Structure 1
Amino acid sequence: MKLTHVRLLVDDAPACFRFYRDVIGLTPTWGTETEGYADFETGGGSTLAVMGRVGQSEVVDLRDSGDGAMLVLGVDDLESALAGLRERGAEPGEIVDRPDWGIRFAHLRDPAGNLIEVNCPIPMEWD
C-alpha cells in the first residue's frame, strides 16, 4: 500500500483551487477551477487534491470538518517562501523555531480553513 493522494474536502472548491494554484504555487494536473475536483502536482510522489464536500458526500456520509489533519509543506528557505506567500495574499503566522523537533515553521489556512504548516529543517550541529 502507498499514499497516492491527500484529498481536502472543501465547501468552496473554486476558491481552494485558486489558492493552491495561485498562492501556494502548485501546478494543476487534473480538473479545473469550476469542476469541483482538481489534482495538483506536489513534487513529492503523491498528489494534493481538492474536492467539493457536496461531490464527496454523494458517495460517503461526511462528518463535520475540523482540525483533524494538517497539510505540511517543506521548503528550503522558510523566510523566502513566507514572503512569497504573503505577496500572493496568504497570511502566515509568525515563524517558530523548534530545535527539539529539528524544524522551524509557520502556519496558515486555506480558504476552507484547512491548517497548513510550511517548514524547513534547522541545521543540526554535532559535537
Structure 2
Amino acid sequence: MEFHAIRLCVTNFQECLEFYRDTLGFQGWHDDEQQYAYFEKANISLFSQEKMVKALFQESQPNEASSQMKLIIQFEVPDVDMYYKRLVNKGVEFINKPHDRKDWGSRVAHFYDPEKNIIEIYKVKDNRK
C-alpha cells in the first residue's frame, strides 16, 4: 500500500481551489464539474464534501457524515479486492465494498480507522479495455 494523498473535503470548492492554486501556488489539475482538484507535488486533493458524502454513503447517508468528514487519506494498492479481504479478515470496518467508480477512473473501497477517520484504497482502472 502506497500513500497517495490527503483528500480535503471542502464545502466551497472554488474558494479552496483558488486558495491552494493561486495563494499557495500549488500546481496540478482540476475538474469543475466533478468539483475535484489534485496537486501532485503536495499530495493534496480537494473534493466537494457534498459529492464525497454521496459517493461514500450511496445507500444511506448518516446525518453526521457531512459535518464530520473533513479529510480522507488515500492509498494506492495493486489490488483493491485483495486488500479489502485482507483488512476485513483483520476486523476493519468498511463503509463500502470494492466497486468501480467510472467517473473517477478507479476501483475503490473506503473504511474507518479506530477514530472514524476515512481511508480510501484505490487502483486506477485501465479504461482502454
User: What TM-score comes out, normalization by structure 1 length?
Assistant: 0.45
- More helix by proportion, 1 or 2? 2
Considering only CA atoms, is the larger Rg found in Structure 1 or Structure 2?
1
User: What TM-score comes out, normalization by structure 2 length?
Assistant: 0.45
